Amino acid sequence: MRPADSAPSRRRFLAAGAAVGAGALVGAAAGAGAERAGALPGTPDRPDNAGVNGQRVIPFYGPHQAAVKARPGAFASFVALDLLPGVDRARLAAWMRLITDDAARLTQGRAALADVEPELAATPAGLTVTVGFGRGFVNRARGQRPDWLGPLPAFSIDRLEDRWSGGDVLLIVAADEPVTVAHTLRMLLKDSRSFAALRWRQDGFRRAYGSDPSGRTMRNLFGQIDGSANLAPGSSEFDAAVLAGDDAPAWLRGGTSFVLRRITMDLDGWDAADRAGRENSVGRTLDTGAPLTGGRERDPLDLDKSGPSGLPIISSVAHARRARVEDPTLRIVRLGYNYEDPPPPGSAALSDSGLLFGSWQADVNRQFVPIQSALDEADLLNVWTTPVGSAVFAIPPGCREGGYVGEALLAV
């Protein structure tokens, strides 16, 4: 036997002993305890059940599409489609009935109709499916269009590419389980083939389920805690900021809007920034996300507090100051996902990395555009970040059993 073979086997033997010992001592908590004691996480004889959440189900039917208020899945695919010529209003309704039925089944852990991989549907892991309508869809449906539905105003920092922008329909598939996301997306796209063509797809990730306590704010690839100012789902402030109200077209009320911006992050440039410079660019600490003026992550920024030099501690061009909105009804609720793709062939870059910046808001013009305009004017983070994709969608309300997403827009 080669020496390299004997060491692991002895380690495995010792680890198994540790697991038995921990199990005897702490009973039900044996799984977690054994891991901390250094045991191998799972063996055929003793599977690791700690943190298993494949059977977690988020209800599909309801007044809002589920993802608007649900805890975001660890993995998400954002897909835009363009309508095929000749797909009329009645056919749009047929399409929405098909993918609503797929989503209603798959999110509950059941195979879709005509699903040829039904076993892949059995692990929903918090699966949500969200459908959004771009300007082209609402026009084709001959529906009343919200005035914000279309491309955002041009910003000076933008370097937008068509391949990440626009689209007639948005699908967001999110779950804590990437195989589930892949299967769900394939089922939805197969049932979309007669109606629309794929325009772009962007995949994002957050910390895997179980790596952090649930509800912790995500970290982006700059290492920053990202989204600290988000309103909490279930609060009246959240509803006021996110849900489309009486000033929206009737078919959209109870729905919302979604802006997706693909923002590249210059990790090589960021490497050259020291820790103080990094914290200064946002106005928050890197370790906890607390304002540089003190306190905890969720505490307010003290924008007037000055340092020894007499300058404000939170820079006048720090991201957190520039993005701050006093009136909670004018805030946006951010849904960010990291992305990391291979660099273009022949490029010296190590990766194509960034943030899929998503946001829910009741009215894009009233909420998103003023914030983005302020950041366009001045934001230290702009040194390292560049928007390369941009798309805006109306997110219709949820549906009842027997109904379908978009019914209020498409029903005869």
Partner 1 sequence: MPAPNRVPRPRCVLSRAALMAAITLTLAACSSSGAGDDASSLTITDAWVKAAADGMTAAFGTIENSSDHDITITGATSEAAKTVELHEVVDNVMRPVDRGLAVPAGGFLTLEPGGYHLMFMGITAPFAAGDDVTVTLTLSDGSEVDLTAVAKDFAGADENYDGGMDEQMESASPEAST
Report the interface residues with partner 1, using CB under 8 A.
Answer: 55, 57, 91, 93-95, 97-98, 101, 104-105, 108-110, 113-114, 116, 121-124, 190-191, 193-195, 401
Indicate the residue among 34 and 93 with the shorter CB distance to partner 1. 93
Q: Please report how close the Cβ of residue 188 comes to partner 1 at its closest, in angstroms.
A: 12
Q: Please report how close the Cβ of residue 129 comes to partner 1 at its closest, in angstroms.
A: 14
Q: Measure the CA–CA gap between 59 and 350, rounded to whole angstroms.
A: 40
Q: Measure the CA–CA gap between 23 and 17, rounded to whole angstroms.
A: 10
Indicate the residue among 114 and 348 with the shorter CB distance to partner 1. 114
Q: Measure the CA–CA gap between 220 and 254, rounded to whole angstroms.
A: 30
Coil, helix or strand for 112? coil
Degrees, nearest 5: CA angle 152-341-360: 35
Active-site entry in 226, 239, 363, 379 = 226
Q: Measure the CA–CA gap between 53 and 49, rounded to whole angstroms.
A: 9
Q: Measure the CA–CA gap between 361 and 145, rounded to whole angstroms.
A: 16
Q: Please report how close the Cβ of residue 77 comes to partner 1 at its closest, in angstroms.
A: 20
Coil, helix or strand for 151? coil
Q: Please report how close the Cβ of residue 95 comes to partner 1 at its closest, in angstroms.
A: 6
> Residues 170, 161: contact at Cβ < 8 Å?
no
In this structure, the dihedral spanned by the alpha carbons of residues 80, 83, 88 and 90, taken in order and rounded to 10 degrees, is -30
Q: Any residues with CB less than 8 A from the CB of 203 and at least 6 apart, and which?
A: 75, 76, 77, 78, 339
Residue with tokens 């390369």: 388
Q: Please report how close the Cβ of residue 310 comes to partner 1 at its closest, in angstroms.
A: 60
Indicate the residue among 57 and 208 with the shorter CB distance to partner 1. 57
Amino acid letter for position 323? A
Indicate the residue among 182 and 325 with the shorter CB distance to partner 1. 182
Indicate the residue among 59 and 343 with the shorter CB distance to partner 1. 59
Q: Please report how close the Cβ of residue 88 comes to partner 1 at its closest, in angstroms.
A: 12
Indicate the residue among 108 and 365 with the shorter CB distance to partner 1. 108
Of 108, 104, 86, nearest to 96 (Cα)?
104
Indicate the residue among 105 and 334 with the shorter CB distance to partner 1. 105
Q: Please report how close the Cβ of residue 76 comes to partner 1 at its closest, in angstroms.
A: 22
Degrees, nearest 5: CA angle 308-309-313: 75
> Residues 81, 196: contact at Cβ < 8 Å?
yes
Strand partners, 361: 257
Residue with tokens 């004997």: 6
Instruction: Decide if 226 is catalytic.
Output: yes
Question: Which residue numbers are catalytic?
Answer: 226
